[in-house]
Structure 1
Amino acid sequence: MPIVTVTVLEGYDADTRRRLGKATTDAVRSVVAAPAEAVTVIIDEVARENYLRGGEHRNPGPPRPDPAQIVHDFLAAMEARDLDRAKGFLGKGFEMVFPGDARMTTLEELVAFAGPRYRFVKKTYERFDPVPGGDVAIVYCFGTLHGEWPDGEAFSGIRFIDRFEISEGRIARQQVWNDIAEVVAHQGKGAGA
């Protein structure tokens, strides 16, 4: 089965090396039909004093934040309605697109948009799937929604999927798909998707 060696300059912490190993394993498995336990990733470290580029010693590039953790923390802040904290995860030019091509650029717009649709909504997550993309990381998260309609009746089990673009450690774009409109059409609840 595949054995991959990755050489990095010394100085990366254990979590960064773990994330690099997992990303390398996932990349190999996207090309080679092998179970994760059959892919061996060896991360070698080179001492900085033993590395020169252009005749000069170099420092390693800083690790990027985990894009899935950024999304998870943003969604947790939104669920708690801690908009100030949630805004800290957003990049310049942030845009979100909800079902029906509803486009917003502020969290206050989102809160106003959601107001007539439900009293509150929470998410139960199945997975967060980060997809490497060079300078922009993509994260898909999906699961089900639960909460209360405007009349106070509870709902649950509504499917959703969110797609996030992470650039320079901040959320640049969020796209949302869910089955709320289907449920509303069948139950006559809320004010749409």
Structure 2
Amino acid sequence: MPVVELHVLEGYDSSEKQRLGQALTDAVRFVVPATPELVTIMIHDMPTENYYRGRIQRRPAAARPDPELIVKDYLSAMEARDLTKAGALLAQGFTMSFPGTGPMTTLDALIQWSKPRYKFVTKTYEGFDALQSPDEASIVYCRGTLQGEYHDGSCFESIRFIDRFEVVDGKITKQDVWNDMAEVRANT
């Protein structure tokens, strides 16, 4: 039964510490074959007046926003066609690639690319997976199926997709999309 003790400076709220506890549990389970119930995480709050580094009393940095929630907000805004809200979640220098495209840098470019392909598309999500890369980006994958309508009035459904997002400092910097739409369309 692995036990992890962590000391953090006071100032993180209970939801932030819960996210930290879940992430540490998952990190332990990545190496140690234990169920979540067998991993113990103890987070100790350290009063800021008891913490010095470099001869200076320190305060905790703000917790990073949950990258999975950022991606979910973005996808929800895109489906609702709230491009202002979706665009506000994108970083300067954002790029996205869809099947058969090179990198696009604006939501308008995506809309222009998709216009001749279908009238509309929606997603059903089967799951989200978030992880921290070795650099500053958090990685979020979402997977599920696409459904919608082609311009000829025919409908499509159950088309597999997976999206990969990179999130840095609360903003989406990159989106890569893979799906089976072309294969399904070619066989109908």
Task: Give TM-score, length-normalised by structure 2.
Answer: 0.97
Secondary structure of 2:94's partner?
strand
Secondary structure of 2:31's partner?
coil
Secondary structure of 2:139's partner?
strand
Deviation of 1:106 after TM superposition, in Å, equals 0.4
For these two proteins, the number of residue pairs brought into alignment is 187
The residue type equivalent to 2:167 in the other structure is I
Q: 1:109-120 alignment to 2 at 5 Å?
A: 109-120=109-120
Aligned counterpart, 1:80: 80
Secondary structure of 2:5's partner?
strand
Deviation of 1:150 after TM superposition, in Å, equals 1.2
Percent pairwise identity: 55
Aligned counterpart, 2:127: 127
Question: Any gaps of 5 or more consecutive residues in structure 2?
Answer: none
Secondary structure of 2:187's partner?
helix
Q: 1:1-193 alignment to 2 at 5 Å?
A: 1-133=1-133, 134-187=135-188
The residue type equivalent to 1:135 in the other structure is E
CA offsets, 1:133-155, max 9 Å, x none? 24111110111111111112221
Q: Please give the alpha-carbon distance, in whole angstroms, between the structure 2 residues aligned to 1:46 and 1:157.
A: 50
Q: Please give the alpha-carbon distance, in whole angstroms, between the structure 2 residues aligned to 1:10 and 1:112.
A: 49
Please identify runs of 4+ aligned residues in structure 1 that moved more than 2 A: none
CA offsets, 1:52-84, max 9 Å, x none? 112221000110010000000000000001101
Q: Please give the alpha-carbon distance, in whole angstroms, between the structure 2 residues aligned to 1:64 and 1:51.
A: 21
Q: Please give the alpha-carbon distance, in whole angstroms, between the structure 1 residues aligned to 2:183 and 2:28.
A: 39
Deviation of 1:102 after TM superposition, in Å, equals 3.3
Secondary structure of 1:116's partner?
coil
Q: Please give the alpha-carbon distance, in whole angstroms, between the structure 2 residues aligned to 1:160 and 1:172.
A: 20
Aligned counterpart, 1:191: none
Q: Please give the alpha-carbon distance, in whole angstroms, between the structure 1 residues aligned to 2:102 and 2:118.
A: 16
Task: Give TM-score, length-normalised by structure 1.
Answer: 0.94
CA offsets, 1:126-182, max 9 Å, x none? 111111124111110111111111112221111000000111211000000000011
